[in-house]
A = this chain, B = another copy of it.
Amino acid sequence: MSNEVANLLLPDKPVEECGVFGIYGAGLDVARLTYYGLHALQHRGQESAGIAVADGRQIQLHKGMGLVTEVFTGQQLEQFCGPAAIGHVRYSTTGASQPLNAQPLVFRYAKGMLGLAHNGNITNITELRAQLAATGSVFQSSTDSEVVVNLIARYNANSLEEALMKCMIDVKGAYSLLILTENALYAARDPHGFRPLCLGRLGDAYVVASESCALTTVGAAFLRDIEPGEIIRIDQSGLTVTRGLTAQQPAHCIFEYIYFARPDSTLDGFNVNLVRREMGRQLAREYPVAADIVIAVPDSGTAAARGYAEESGIPFEEGLMKNRYVGRTFIQPTQAMREIGVKLKLNPIREVLQDKRVVMVDDSIVRGTTSQKLVAMLRQAGAREVHLCISSPPVRRSCYYGIDTSDEQELIAAKLPLEEIRRNIDADGLHYLSLEGLLDIFAPRQNHFCTACFNGHYPVEVAKPKESGKYSLE
């Protein structure tokens, strides 16, 4: 992304780091199905995309920077052959975006070829990398996958399952991992199940994906979620399940439900759209506001806004219009233009807002910059009162399990008390959903989620947060 585009267009949201998709199906066009599967997961990463296909003898790879539709042509997909494929989409920030970090990675090692696609964040990666380097390993990227494959190559294991089991002991943190060999597809999920990973069936073929929406997209039926600590192998003799590690207290990322996942996905038993609707309902119960209309910050706040409207009885309206064509090469307005009020992403609808007391529902606040602009925009469009209702608790801590929240110093809720945030964004009211309220939605599985970004209860130790950051290798 050119520097011209910068901040204004990036939503003030945490960023999901990746999405993965894998399929094993003899006779199917697995490359093209992976292309569609990745396309369904595009919201999880827009920086790079890649597909690796195994044909029994070797692994072919194509990857590049950009959207799935930009990286692949029909001709490229047709050059792939074989029954097994994995694919990966990676997130987009203006930071350390390098072709070298695009996935899958494909390696040769003593026992053949390995392709890897990884979603998550290994918390002891610095330590592992240092140990490997001390005995002669070299690294070309800053990806966790390169460390994983070096570990696998070092184990004196009798099978890849065995190597993965050893790996799961050494590796800490969050990982939903797909591995491709010349003959088989493997999937592994960390013992807490931080990041989602599910299994589907398409005729005789098996499909694994970060989210169920990718299964639906390729016409596969949802079978079940991959369990925390599980290792799955799929090859010509079918599906084999191995327990890699004893599953521990589940710690599914709750932000998947709040913001990341696609509404039509069902993750670890909960449909995202329905959860979001319920968040809005719960928010309305916790914070009833005397208002004329409820509007959403589209698209992420829409489901919760509707829930709020239903519960409160206040009519839901479209008060902000989103431009669907904002692309990655957008030319940013100059400061002078921002001052005259050039609006590129969201337009207020005066006919809806004029003289109204407005409840504006958004899913989360990170730095608070966008909220401030939106409140101002609504007031300019004639809103009499603006009450900002957030369908999640205040984000106060960084994530070390695969999400790129801003630094803790930039999190507005880490720096300011609620009332000052409200004053800062100049809202008439500011309400966050309570953590209890949020978790109640998942009853009786309230304690199956990682809520570290809200309350700092990190399920896996994060020894030296600074050094385990994203750019420690770069």
Contacts and interface: CB of A to CB of B under 8 A. Distances in A.
Given A137-B137, A139-B109, A331-B73, A39 B325 contact: yes
Nearest to A349: B264
A218 interface: yes
A400 interface: no
A196 to B, nearest CB: 16
Q: How many copies of this chain does one complex carry?
A: 4
Given A73-B329, A203-B340, A324-B324, 4 more contacts: A40-B347, A69-B327, A138-B153, A274-B351
A344 B217 contact: yes
A334 B29 contact: yes
B39 A323 contact: yes
Interface in A276-312: 299, 303, 306, 310
A105 interface: yes
A473 B106 CA distance: 13
A107 interface: yes
Contacts of A137: 109, 136-137, 153
A373 interface: no
| Secondary structure dominating the interface of A | mixed
B473 A42 contact: no
A213 B105 CA distance: 38
A150 B133 contact: no
Interface in A145-202: 149-150, 153-154, 202
A439 B356 CA distance: 28
A434 interface: no
13 contacts: A39-B325, A39-B330, A39-B344, A40-B347, A68-B325, A99-B99, A109-B133, A110-B134, A140-B140, A216-B343, A218-B340, A273-B318, A273-B352
A370 interface: no
A138 B58 CA distance: 15
A35 interface: yes
A4 B40 contact: no
A81 interface: no
A436 interface: no
Contacts of A336: 29
Contacts of A348: 216, 264
A218 B138 contact: no
Nearest to A302: B318
A68 B329 CA distance: 10
A336 B218 CA distance: 12
Contact of A271 (B77, B99, B351): B351
B341 A107 contact: no
B107 A325 contact: no
B324 A316 contact: no
A273 B349 contact: yes
A342 B73 contact: no
The 9 lowest CB-CB distance pairs between A and B, nearest first, are: A219-B341, A264-B321, A136-B154, A271-B351, A110-B133, A219-B340, A107-B138, A42-B325, A69-B327
Nearest to A129: B108
A42 B68 CA distance: 22
Contacts of A433: none
Contact of A139 (B58, B108, B330, B349): B108
Nearest to A136: B154
A105 B140 contact: yes
